[in-house]
Structure 1
Amino acid sequence: MRDILDIQKQLLPDMLEVMNKRYRVLQHILLLGSVGRRTLASALDMTERVLRSEVDFLKGQGLIETETSGMHISESGRELLEKLQPLIKEMLGLSELEKRIREHFGVEQVVVVAGDSDTSPFAKKELGRAAALMLRKHVTKHDVIAVTGGSTMAEVAEHLSTTSALKGSLFVPARGGLGESVELQANMIASKMAKKTGGKYRLLHVPDHLREEAYQSLIQEPNIHEMMDVIRSCRIVIHGIGDALVMARRRKVDSDSIDSLRSEGALAEAFGYYFDPQGRVVHKMPTVGLRLEDIQHCEVVIGVAGGSSKGAAVASVLKYGQEDILVTDEAAAVEMLKHALS
């Protein structure tokens, strides 16, 4: 494919430019669901006159449909986007980033989407869509799927829909609730995923961060113990990756503990464990939920994180070596490789 692209760039450079522009228009319409021309032009940083021409062409090809509520992508448009994706990835250099991360970190499958989730809400939406596709690809009927909280996982939930396998799945929170917006907590995201897919869900009504004595007491409760058995039976876990100090503050960890994390070189957080740049666990919070030893028994572990600010943290977690699949964005991928090779 690379050789063909190089030839096209020499002989028909305009064709690749036009193709990429129309791909972006279709992709944004897909991500936005139903959108007006003015909003779409602003999102694409394109004049309405130029966009009108592209929309007329795509509509004539049956790739988009227009209604009073706005434009939305047709089934033919969805199919075309899926077929075009490998070519666009090759054009943008994303396939090469995927290959380098796979080889360097030993991850079985890597998906890199364009952009930077820190600065582009559309990159974050595409990150969520790509992760939802990975989940649909690997799910089997009657799976138990454990999910964590956070804004990225909420975006994954937005892009799920009913399939025969997901409809029979049970979604559970991978851990208790953090002191954050209710809609970003693992309980809420598990229930939303179930509702979007026609699956089932169960909730874990405990806080994520506890003192050791409270933790030991709580896990002896029969209802909590039974729920933890269900959570630990998950075949698939899909989770976010956080910056260590940011996550410690979200857990309202005291200043002495934060100073300790900083001195230990804590860089990343996942499942209440804190990792240094070499991927070593340097600290563990007593949290109610999945532990690293539980993750080792999961058949499919999908990590989802993007944004240039997360690159170093993602690299740290990958060095620990538990991820089967990574879904990330271009900005994070570039930072990951910088840290890996420094």
Structure 2
Amino acid sequence: METLKLIKRIAPEVTEIIEKRYLILKSISYNQPIGRRALSNELGMKERTVREEANMLKDQGLLNIDFMGMNITDNGKNVLADLHWIYNGLKGIPDLENALKEELNIKKVIIVPGNSSENRMVLKDMGKITSKILKELLNPKDIVGITGGNTMAVVAEEAVSDKKTRDITVIPARGGLGKTLNTQSNSIAAKLAEQLGGVYRLLYVPDTLEQEALEIMLKNEEIKESIDMINDMNILVFGIGRADTMAKRRNLSEDKIQDLIYGGAVAEAFGHYFDINGKEIWEYKTIGLSLDKFKNLNNVIGVAGGEEKAQAIIAISTLNKDMTLVTDESAAKKILKIAYEATK
């Protein structure tokens, strides 16, 4: 690591070249086959720059270029894997991870370089890392809960099957929310179970129900068994939501949303709205994992990126210190900036 810092200090142009070529290889690996113009737009680089760099990488045997576009070779994949740690070191990611872990006081922090709000490749990386962490945690008979949302949908997509059969069950941690099928917790749970080689259990209820309706629903044996399984889960993978965004997804009135914002709410988890210090502002009765259950889970993976999620991440991190956080560089730097300004 000290060597990388020295290189960065004495030859910054070298680090720029490494970063440029790493991002080109990585983007091609995600989007292949891809043409130079499309890659230029993807990375925000000049097409001439992409052409020159791609030709150099081809000469090194790292890329193939044909009429369909560019593809990464097996040698390119190996180089890309080796470059990952060098790139992270040059970007100062290890130091950033240590600083954020100390600031949030949680079990583990993993940071992906870049901004997932602006670059889907970063979000896909977060999904890959989350699925890797999850696979390392799994034991026979585990019950894995997962929430809904765009980020969790990417986690399920990136949990590439390793062809193993696992004696695990994946279940939605919450009832259904929103109208998009691919981001529903049921759909995500089914997809993740398939990728992990496990089985899944669905929860056939919306996230919000009146108490009377819930009591009727719980008389259904299949729904009752699903709720019981949620209460028995021992691993949770969840997305961290902003209070205003989640309030809109639940179709709360504008007056209520403004009340929450004026009350200091910055984050939502499992129907509970919190201020930046983790103090509960309001609870919206929902179906699924309870807040008490969340606080007592030992294996919790929270995933969120983009600097707009910084306050929400801070708030949710106060609720369970056993949490592993997978985030991006943008959110991490914003969190540390907020913490620094709070001490001035």
1:213 counterpart residue number? 212
1:246 counterpart residue number? 245
Cα distance in 2 for residues equivalent to 1:256 and 1:13:
52
Task: Give the secondary-structure state (helix, strand or coil) at the position aligned to 1:320.
Answer: coil
1:103–1:322 distance in 2 versus 1, CA, 3 Å = closer
Superimposed CA distance per residue, residues 192-243 of structure 1 (whole angstroms, 9 cap, x where no aligned partner): 2233344322211100012233234433432211111222322321110111
Letter in 1 for 2:7: Q
1:82–1:106 distance in 2 versus 1, CA, 3 Å = farther
2:142 counterpart residue number? 143
For structure 1, the residue ranges without an aligned partner over 5 or more in a row are none
2:323 counterpart residue number? 324
Cα distance in 1 for residues equivalent to 2:190 and 2:7:
47
Letter in 2 for 1:71: M
Q: CA deviation at 1:73?
A: 3.4
1:88 counterpart residue number? 87
Paired residues, what number?
A: 341
Letter in 2 for 1:180: K
Q: CA deviation at 1:276?
A: 1.0
Cα distance in 2 for residues equivalent to 1:46 and 1:300:
40
2:126 counterpart residue number? 127
- Are the equivalent residues in 2 in contact too, given 1:315–1:340 (CA < 8 A)? no
2:106 counterpart residue number? 107
Q: CA deviation at 1:275?
A: 1.1
2:201 counterpart residue number? 202
Mapped pair 1:55 → 2:54 = yes
Cα distance in 2 for residues equivalent to 1:65 and 1:268:
46
- Are the equivalent residues in 2 in contact too, given 1:31–1:126 (CA < 8 A)? no
- Are the equivalent residues in 2 in contact too, given 1:315–1:339 (CA < 8 A)? no
1:235–1:15 distance in 2 versus 1, CA, 3 Å = same
Task: Give the secondary-structure state (helix, strand or coil) at the position aligned to 2:237.
Answer: strand
Superimposed CA distance per residue, residues 12-47 of structure 1 (whole angstroms, 9 cap, x where no aligned partner): 433322211111112212332542332112212223
1:41–1:104 distance in 2 versus 1, CA, 3 Å = same
Task: Give the secondary-structure state (helix, strand or coil) at the position aligned to 1:149.
Answer: coil
- Are the equivalent residues in 2 in contact too, given 1:306–1:328 (CA < 8 A)? yes
Task: Give the secondary-structure state (helix, strand or coil) at the position aligned to 1:172.
Answer: strand
1:230–1:165 distance in 2 versus 1, CA, 3 Å = farther
2:40 counterpart residue number? 41
Mapped pair 1:188 → 2:191 = no
1:57–1:135 distance in 2 versus 1, CA, 3 Å = farther
Cα distance in 1 for residues equivalent to 2:168 and 2:317:
27
Cα distance in 1 for residues equivalent to 2:142 and 2:202:
16
- Are the equivalent residues in 2 in contact too, given 1:180–1:250 (CA < 8 A)? no
- Percent of aligned positions that are identical: 37
- Are the equivalent residues in 2 in contact too, given 1:142–1:165 (CA < 8 A)? no
Cα distance in 1 for residues equivalent to 2:240 and 2:231:
19
1:332–1:245 distance in 2 versus 1, CA, 3 Å = same
1:65–1:324 distance in 2 versus 1, CA, 3 Å = farther
Q: CA deviation at 1:289?
A: 1.0
Superimposed CA distance per residue, residues 246-276 of structure 1 (whole angstroms, 9 cap, x where no aligned partner): 2112111244543442343211011222111
Cα distance in 2 for residues equivalent to 1:33 and 1:229:
44
Task: Give the secondary-structure state (helix, strand or coil) at the position aligned to 2:318.
Answer: helix
1:213–1:153 distance in 2 versus 1, CA, 3 Å = same
Cα distance in 2 for residues equivalent to 1:201 and 1:279:
32
Mapped pair 1:229 → 2:232 = no
- Are the equivalent residues in 2 in contact too, given 1:144–1:169 (CA < 8 A)? yes
1:118 counterpart residue number? 117
1:260–1:51 distance in 2 versus 1, CA, 3 Å = closer
Cα distance in 2 for residues equivalent to 1:168 and 1:77:
35
Task: Give the secondary-structure state (helix, strand or coil) at the position aligned to 2:51.
Answer: helix
1:183–1:73 distance in 2 versus 1, CA, 3 Å = same
1:282 counterpart residue number? 281
Task: Give the secondary-structure state (helix, strand or coil) at the position aligned to 2:171.
Answer: strand
Moved over 4 A (4+): 65-69, 164-168
2:13 counterpart residue number? 14
Cα distance in 2 for residues equivalent to 1:260 and 1:214:
27
1:60–1:134 distance in 2 versus 1, CA, 3 Å = farther
Deviates more, 1:95-104 or 1:131-140: 131-140
